Chains A and B, each alone.
Chain A
Amino acid sequence: MSKDNFLEVRGLKKYFDADRPSFFSREPRYVHAVDGIDFQLRHSEVIALVGESGCGKSTLALLLMGLEEPTEGAILFEGRDITHLNDNERKGLRRKIQMIFQDPYESLNPTQTIEEIINEPLVVHGIGNNKNERDERVKKAMEDSGLKPAEVYLQRFPHELSGGQRQRVVIAAALVLEPEILLADEPVSMLDVSIRAEIINLLAELRITRQIAVIFITHDLGSVGFFADRVAVMYLGRIVEIGTMLEVLEKPQHPYTKALISVIPVPNPRLRHERIILQGETPNPIDLPSGCRFHPRCPLAMATCKASDPPFITLSKTHQAACLLLVK
């Protein structure tokens, strides 16, 4: 294993129990939320996980955070298997992997002040010998997150802040632990367009100033364009294409990636183009389609797609896609 791969995911699966179709049926059924995911993350790298709802990206985030127990597979951090740690063993690790959420209003406790919110991780981990030391760290995290000057915000409550400010508070509460990986689950999709750029810029900046690796989970391929190093496209619990940002955006190989890219709205009416609009909706992850799970919606599906599950085809050192059309 390369020394660089400080986070590695191998064959990760998570099945949830589904309701039985009837009282008398004996066969258990599962929601295949995450169904065999492999990828690596390097130091201070930004990887974007892109997919529509139901592709398993949020479950994957919970698995990486250790907030859900995987059904199968392994997660390695700096070469150490962290898949099945108990609460105590995980606690130290939590300082290194932090998460920010989609809805900054929901992810702040309305009864806590901003200071209490950002100070809380320090209390939980017993960091800082005295109050001054903790105050210093809180202040630094806040200023790094663009909440300047910190004193203005300390005694306020979340409802007194705007959406963008709240998301900065969430980021500060993650930064205060000085993490090495930041998992961002749709961090800008609830924010106004003029605010989104600020938050994305902030994340891009942090990765340079603090050497933080970012796993950026989103349904919007458009928003990853400018700062992701690599992009992984997910469909029904699996990665269907992974590559560097330019490879995926400019030379997409999987029909699903191609369709996704074609429907990204382009803010210029002169560049209106033919869009590949897939019919129907993502099937439910209980009864998965046979063979290639994308075949019922694939505009290029062949007879063989129904029967065999496509392997990952290596297209370049960094670019892979799972599609039978690519088998030469």
Chain B
Amino acid sequence: MNRTRNLLKKIGWALFTILFVIILNFFLFRVLPGDPARAGIRDPRLKKEAIEMLRIRFGLDKPVINCFESLNPIELGSCTVNPLDTQFFIYIRNLLQGELGVSYHTNRPVTDILTERLWNTVLLIGAGQILSILIGVIFGVFAAWKARTTIDHAAVITSLFAWSLPTFWLGIILLFWGSSQGLPLAGKATPGASSLPLLQQWGDIIRHMFLPTLTYTIIYMAEYTLIMRSSLMDVLSEDYILTAKAKGLSTFQILKDHALKNAMLPLVTVIAINLGFTVAGAIQIEAVFSWPGLGGAIFEAVGRRDFPVLQGAFLLIAVAVIFANLIADLTYNYLDPRVQTE
């Protein structure tokens, strides 16, 4: 009963947050100087027909929203306009139809560019997250179990050092190393690889993924190691571990049956909170390794002042993070009986 209520509440909040991001995304680009639509019209790279198309699509001749003709510079307008006849409404309508505008640079619809890139980012973050969580948890468990030994000190110091590395810089260093090892340094696949058999195509992708994933894993593994260590240290000094020991259970049984799940719970929360930060890592890594993902799209869009792509990529990333966060949150609720049965 309360569980469903909790579930509905969380989903409701995620939806509200998405709505907030959508509105923020609209006004950010209208209030700050670089309004993409307006700037776009003046962009010399566009042909005349394209400008006309933009004008109709975004309703640029219409007021931004009721009462405001424009937000930068602020120009008051009529408040009695039909709300359906404003830029804001057209933005929402376009969004609902999956329309995010057209790239200034390639003239391709932003939606098309971003959907293929989204999966590349998911692939990179997914692989990196799984590896860093797995390795981080293992290191953390060992460090906590062998607390105050050389293993523990080494794990903590290494993690603190890895945590302090700027992601992109570690990428650059690994790039140097990779070039000496003959690893592919950029992109997702060797040109022309698409003609190869599927298995070899994947082999090629994995070789390309190696360096970016390694960078990602080193950076985030450090944090998970530290969190897992401290969480497990807390659990292992709880009274119920003493009970388990008094029951005659072996160290392995105690770790497996009494400590791990309890210690993993805080980690799930941290993973959820971290998702926003991991995207930051992905942008830097994709920039260094020219990985064709959303982060790479942002990097390129910044360089080319390609605002529609920037706007679309930000929206997509934010929504994806909110969803991932929701899933992590629900997983926590599912795992912790104290929440379920409250």
CB–CB under 8 A between A and B in the complex? Answer: yes
Question: Residues of A with Cβ closer than 8 Å to B?
Answer: 21-23
A-B CB contact pairs (8 Å), 7 listed: A21-B1, A22-B1, A22-B2, A22-B5, A23-B1, A23-B4, A23-B5
Q: Which residues of B contact A21 (CB under 8 A)?
A: 1
B313 to chain A, nearest CB (A): 38
Q: How far is the CB of B158 from chain A (nearest CB, A)?
A: 35
0/1 interface trace, chain B 1-34, chain A, CB 8 Å (1 if under): 1101100000000000000000000000000000
Question: DSSP majority for the A interface?
Answer: loop
- Please, how many angstroms separate the alpha-carbon atoms of A23 and B1 in the complex? 8
A23 contact set on B, CB distance < 8 A: 1, 4-5
Q: How far is the CA of A23 from the CA of B2 in the complex (A)?
A: 7
Q: How far is the CB of A286 from chain B (nearest CB, A)?
A: 15
The CA of A10 and the CA of B5, in the complex, are separated in Å by 41
Q: Which A residues are in CB contact (< 8 Å) with B4?
A: 23
The residue in chain B whose Cβ has the minimal distance to the Cβ of A22 is B1
Q: How far is the CA of A43 from the CA of B181 in the complex (A)?
A: 91
Q: State which residues 234-286 of B face A: CB under 8 Å.
A: none
Question: How many whole Å from B65's CB to the nearest CB in chain A?
Answer: 35
User: Number of contacting residues on B, CB 8 A?
Assistant: 4
B174 to chain A, nearest CB (A): 47
A21 and B1 CA atoms in complex are apart in Å by 9
Top 7 closest pairs, chain A to chain B, by CB: A23-B5, A22-B1, A23-B1, A22-B2, A22-B5, A21-B1, A23-B4
How many angstroms between the C-alpha atoms of A21 and B342 in the bound complex? 11
A23 to B5, CA, bound (A): 7
- The CA of A57 and the CA of B4, in the complex, are separated in Å by 36
Q: CA–CA, A21 to B5, complex, Å?
A: 11
* CB nearest to B9 among chain A residues: A23
Least CB distance from A304 to B in Å reads 36
Which chain B residue shows the least CB distance to A19? B2
Instruction: Give the complex CA separation of A22 and B2 in angstroms.
Output: 7
Q: How far is the CA of A56 from the CA of B64 in the complex (A)?
A: 60
| CB-nearest residue of chain A to B1 | A22
In the complex, what residues of A have CB within 8 A of residue B5's CB? 22-23
A23 to B6, CA, bound (A): 10
Q: How far is the CA of A49 from the CA of B1 in the complex (A)?
A: 39
B6, closest chain A residue (CB): A23
A202 CB to nearest chain B CB (Å): 34
Chain B contacts for A22, CB-based, 8 A: 1-2, 5
* CA distance in complex: A97, B257 (Å): 53
Shortest CB-to-CB span from A74 to chain B, Å, is 37
CA distance in complex: A71, B1 (Å): 30
Nearest residue (CB) in A for B342 is A19
In Å, the complex CA distance between A22 and B5 comes to 8
A299 to chain B, nearest CB (A): 33
* Complex-state Cα separation, A16 to B4, whole angstroms: 25
Instruction: Report the Cα distance A23→B4, complex, angstroms.
Output: 9
Q: How far is the CB of B8 from chain A (nearest CB, A)?
A: 8
Q: Give Cα distance in the complex from A22 to B4, angstroms.
A: 10
For the complex, give the distance between the alpha carbons of A155 and B4 in Å.
55
Residues of A within 8 A of B1 (CB): 21-23
Question: Closest CB-CB distance, B46 to chain A, in whole Å?
Answer: 53
A23 to B8 CA separation, bound complex (whole angstroms):
11
Q: In the complex, what distance in Å separates the CA atom of A22 from the CA atom of B1?
A: 6
Closest B residue to A21 using CB positions: B1
Question: Which positions 29-44 of chain B face chain A at CB distance < 8 Å?
Answer: none
Closest residue of chain B to A23, judged by CB? B5
Please report the C-alpha to C-alpha distance between residue A157 and residue B1 in the assembled complex, in whole angstroms. Answer: 49
State how many angstroms separate the Cβ of A158 from the closest Cβ of chain B.
24
Q: How far is the CB of B244 from chain A (nearest CB, A)?
A: 28
| Assembly CA distance A295 to B2 (angstroms) | 31
Q: Which residue of A lies closest to B4 (CB)?
A: A23
A248 to B5, CA, bound (A): 49
State the CA gap A322–B56 with chains docked (Å): 83
CB distance from A106 to the nearest CB of B (A): 20
* A238 CB to nearest B CB, Å: 29
Q: For residue A55, give the distance in angstroms from its CB to the closest CB of chain B.
A: 25
Q: Would you give the shortest CB distance from A22 to chain B, in whole angstroms? A: 5
Chain A residues near B2 (CB, 8 Å)?
22
Nearest Cβ distance between residue B270 and chain A, in whole angstroms?
Answer: 28
* Distance from B263 Cβ to chain A, minimum over Cβ atoms (Å): 28
Q: In whole angstroms, what is the CA distance A21 to B4 when docked?
A: 13
Bound-state CA distance A21–B2 (Å) is 8
